[in-house]
Amino acid sequence: MAESVYLAPDVQLPYCRGCGHALVVRHLSRALERLGLPPRSVVLTTDIGCVGLADSLFPYLHTVHTTHGRSTAFATGMALAEVTLDEHRLKPIVMVGDGGAMIGLLHLVHAAQLNVDITVLVHNNFLFGMTGGQHSALTPLNWVTATTPEGNWTPPLDLLALLRTAHAGFLARQYATAADLDTTIADAIDFPGFSLVEVVELCTAYATRWNRLTGKTLDEAMQRQGYRIGEFETEQERPTFIDLYRHEHGSHSASEPEPQFEEVSTRAQLEKELHLVVAGTAGERVQSAANLLCRAALAVGLYSTQKNDNPVTQGTGFSLAEICLSPQPIEYTGMESPDVVVIASGDGWKELLANGTVARCHAGTLVLLDSEVEASPSVGRTVRLPLRRQANPKRAALAGLAAWMSMTSALPAAAWEAVLTALPAGRQADTAEAIQIGRRLAESGNGAVA
């Protein structure tokens, strides 16, 4: 018999007598035969449940027996790996029950959206077979199951309608008893992209024991639910995820390396670790100012660490960065007591009060405070600078850091130049101006505090 290429010739099917799963297995074998697919170009990916016993029946196909509901996700991973494998063509065929389809619903939705080249056979017997006939999300109204002894009153999920909204390319619903089920399955496998066949079948161990079901009453139930039977190619063939990915990234070109900057010959005059905090308002480039300072420090031979903090919603409230600068590699990145605090806005001040930074300042801490902020730190030396007004709010943090740098001899001014030249051209002028404003503010009168 021709079908023996796929289904073992002497196969003993492991299902109850009359179970629809047996019909699907035979039709699948015939469909593969008809398509003439080499057995090693197919991987049967089976779910958990009676439906999952099928892998042992196909001795020549690759088989992957997975976990409950996840079969589609494993198949998707196997299919997508082809992006990087130039020659192979592997067709994953997923066999999953109605129970598995629901617990793993998002995998079906995502596979349909991505349009991965896999075929899913949902064995819809309207209940959980292997675990004893409990109702599933696809159980029709009024059906008696182990968990709906009075009849099911939760309306069933129309899987195909749902997957249509996820842009599934090929969808079909067919009875397991249909003579041409193999044709439907073959069409699905042949479809270049995501395809799914919902096979309507009966579990003879539970469904027919507790409900009066014949082919005719089943058909009536389907009509009551408005379920059409047949093949629906819902979308014209569209490119698969792999097609699009290859198109998008076809040239395999490496991404542009970040511009590197030259170290400058002047070295920093820093003997021990220095701890800085810069705080301001989210969206006002506080953390990127801190990052520039760390780069500047690197250019003059210092190690640095930068830890950012902001509220969970990143676009509002405070934004701060804690920086350690050191002539040696840095171990502890926390801050027991800051040496320099730059406060660029009221939001920043409020957070530093709340998180305990202000309380941890010592007598020698230099606090550079924007003049608009209503605050009066009681510890350390406070210098008020019109950062927001002169540099504008988005550059206040950077101007503050630049002001500090010209008040101290720790970092040579050349450090900034090195950073500036490595910036993208569009950002150079703006950044240079902020640094210039900071320097001027430090020198005009307040510079004495250094």
Q: Which spans of this chain sit near ligand SF4 (rule: CB under 6 A)?
A: 15-16, 19, 21, 50, 125, 129-130, 203-206
What is the closest distance, in whole angstroms, from the C-beta atom of residue 129 to ligand TPP in the complex? Answer: 3
- Report what 205 binds from ligand TPP, ligand SF4, another protein, none; CB cut-off 5-8 Å by kind: ligand SF4
Residues in the chain: 450
Q: What is the closest distance, in whole angstroms, from the C-beta atom of residue 81 to another protein in the complex? A: 4
22 or 296: CB nearest ligand TPP: 22
In whole angstroms, what is the distance from residue 287 CA to residue 295 CA?
12
The site string for another protein over 80-119 (x = CB under 8 A, - otherwise) reads xxxxxx--x-x---------------xx-xx---------
* Residue among 129, 156, 393, 412 that touches ligand TPP (CB under 6 A): 129
Question: Contacts with ligand TPP in 45-74 (CB under 6 A)?
Answer: 48-51, 68
DSSP type of residue 14:
-
Residue nearest to ligand SF4 (CB): 129
Task: Using alpha carbons, select from 128, 39, 120, 40 the residue that is nearest to residue 73.
Answer: 120
Whether the CA torsion 422, 427, 433, 439 is positive or negative: it is negative
Q: Which of 5, 11, 35, 67 binds another protein (CB under 8 A)?
A: 67
* Closest distance to ligand TPP from the beta carbon of 4 (Å): 24
- Please report how close the Cβ of residue 87 comes to another protein at its closest, in angstroms: 10
- For residue 91, give the 3-state DSSP assignment: strand
**Residue 277: exposure state from Cβ atoms within 10 A (0-12, 13-18, ≥19):** buried
**CA atoms of 215 and 393, how far apart (whole Å):** 74
Task: List beta partners, residue 324.
Answer: 275, 305
Q: Candidates 91-99, 170-178, 240-248, 383-391 — which segment interacts with ligand TPP by CB under 6 A?
A: 91-99
For the chain, the straight-line distance linking the first and the last C-alpha, in angstroms and rounded, comes to: 94
Least distance between ligand SF4 and beta carbon 158 (Å): 21
Count of residues in contact with another protein, rule CB under 8 A? 62
Distances from the Cα of 74 to the Cα of 33, 108, 122, 162, angstroms: 25, 11, 16, 21
- CA atoms within a 13 Å half-sphere pointing along the CA-CB vector of 342: 35
Stretch that binds another protein, among 134-142, 243-251, 340-348, 371-379 (CB under 8 A): 243-251
Helical spans, DSSP H, in 60-210: 71-80, 98-103, 105-114, 159-165, 181-190, 207-210
Question: Considering the rule CB under 6 A, would residue 136 count as an interface residue with ligand TPP?
Answer: yes
Which of 33, 55, 98, 370 is in the footprint of ligand TPP by CB under 6 A? 98
Query: Residue 271 CA to chain centroid, in angstroms?
Result: 44
Among candidate residues 374, 373, 370, the one with its CA nearest the CA of residue 446: 370
Task: Give residue 338's identity as a one-letter amino acid code.
Answer: P
Cβ closest to ligand TPP, residue 16 vs residue 330: 16
Amino acid at 293: L
Q: Is 64 in the site for another protein (CB under 8 A)?
A: yes
Q: Which does 185 bind (CB under 5 to 8 A by kind): another protein, ligand SF4, ligand TPP, none?
A: none
Select from ligand TPP, another protein, ligand SF4, none the partner in contact with residue 331, using the beta carbon and a kind-dependent cut-off of 5 to 8 Å: another protein
Report the residue number, 136 or 357, with the smaller CB distance to ligand TPP.
136
Asked if 294 and 304 touch (Cβ cutoff 8 Å), the reply is: yes
Q: Which of 34, 65, 164, 384 binds another protein (CB under 8 A)?
A: 65
User: Are the beta carbons of 117 and 240 closer than 8 angstroms?
Assistant: yes
Positions 264 through 323 that interact with another protein (CB under 8 A): 291, 294, 298, 302-310, 312
Nearer to another protein (CB atom), residue 105 or residue 171? 105
The token duo for 81 is: 């790996």
**Minimal CA–CA distance to 381: which of 351, 408, 347, 341?**
341
Give dist(CA 171, CA 198) in Å, integer: 8
Find residue 62's DSSP bridge partners. Answer: 43
Q: How far is the CB of 100 from ligand SF4 (least distance, A)?
A: 12
Task: Tell whether residue 295 is a contact of ligand TPP (CB under 6 A).
Answer: no
**100 and 51 in contact (C-beta within 8 Å)?**
yes
43: contact with another protein by CB under 8 A: yes
Q: Is 422 among the residues that bind ligand TPP (CB under 6 A)?
A: no
Q: Which is nearer to ligand SF4, 51 or 442 (CB)?
A: 51
CB of 99 to ligand TPP, least distance (A): 3
Question: Where do contacts with ligand TPP occur on this chain (CB under 6 A)?
Answer: 48-51, 68, 97-100, 123, 125, 128-131, 136
